Amino acid sequence: MQNSDIIYWALVTGILSALATGLGAIPVAYIANRSTVVRAFSGAVAAGMMISASVFSIAQEGIALKSQRPSAPYEVIAGIMLGALFFWFVEKKLSGRDLSFGGSGGSRRGFLVFLAMFIHSFPEGIAIGVGFATGDFGFGLLIALAISVHNIPEGIAISLPMRAEGASFGKCFMFSVLSSVPQPLAAVPAVLAVSFFQPVLATGLGFAAGAMIYLVVDELIPESLAEGGRSLTAWGVMVGLGGMLLLTTLLELVTV
C-alpha cells in the first residue's frame, strides 16, 4: 500500500468507527421515564458496561501487546493509575458544580461518562493508525472493524444515563458519535508517526481503562446506590457487565 492509501483508509475507517458509536443510541430511544429508579438503574447498567469495556477489552488489548513489547503489561498498569489520577483531578475540579449536558437536567454524571469515553477513543484511534501503518490492509481493517464493533455498546453506555435524565434521542446519538471523534483524528497522526505512537499505545489504553474504572467507582455506583439502593445497583451493574460481553461477542460473530 502507498502512504496516501494508508492515510486514506485510516481516516475513512476511523470516521466509520466513530459513527458506529451512534448506533448505540438506537436501543435506548424508547426510554423516556425520568424516575429516580430508572435513572439509578440506567447509571448502574452504564457502570457495568464500562467495567466490562475497561477490563475485558481496553486493558486486555494493551496487555496483548506484550508480544511486541515485553513491558506492555506494566505500561498498562502505569496507565491505569495515571488515568485514575487524571479523573480524580477532573472530579475534584467539578465537585459541587451543576453542568447542563445534553439537555439532561444539569447532569455532571452524563458529562463525566462522555469525557471518559472521549478520552478512551484516542488510543483506539492510534490503534487503527498503527494497524494500517504496518502496510497490511487486512490487519488494519480487522482492527478498525473490531473497534467499530466495541463502539456500539459503548454508545449504549453513553446514551443510557443521558436518556434516563431526559435527553432526546438526537442528542444521545450526537454525543455518542462525538465521544469517538478522537478516533479518526488520532488515526492519521499515528500513521505518520507510528514510531512514536506505537510505544505509548499500551500506556494510553491503560490510561483510558483507569479513567473509566475510577469514574464508575467514584461517580456512577455511589449515585446509583443513593437513588436506587444496593440490590438495584448490583443487578444493574451485572446486567451491564454481562450485556456488554454478550453484545460484543455476538457482534464479533456476525462480522467474522
Residue 46 has pLDDT above 70, yes or no: yes
Residue 97 has pLDDT above 70, yes or no: no
pLDDT tens digits, one per residue of 127-180: 888 888 877 787 788 788 878 877 887 888 888 878 877 788 888 899 999 999
Residue 105 has pLDDT above 60, yes or no: no
Residue 68 has pLDDT above 80, yes or no: yes
- Band the pLDDT of 34: cuts 50, 70, 90: low
Residue 71 has pLDDT above 90, yes or no: yes
**For the whole model, what pTM was predicted?**
0.74
CA–CA gap between residue 223 and residue 221 (Å, rounded): 5
Q: How many angstroms separate the Cα of 253 from the Cα of each of 9, 49, 53?
A: 24, 19, 18
Q: What are the structural domain ranges in the chain?
A: 3-255
Nearest to 176 by CA among 194, 161, 196, 192: 161
Mean pLDDT to the nearest integer, 218-232:
89
DSSP state, residue 256: -
Mean pLDDT to the nearest integer, 47-76:
89
Q: What is the pLDDT of residue 98?
A: 55
Q: What is the pLDDT of residue 11?
A: 92
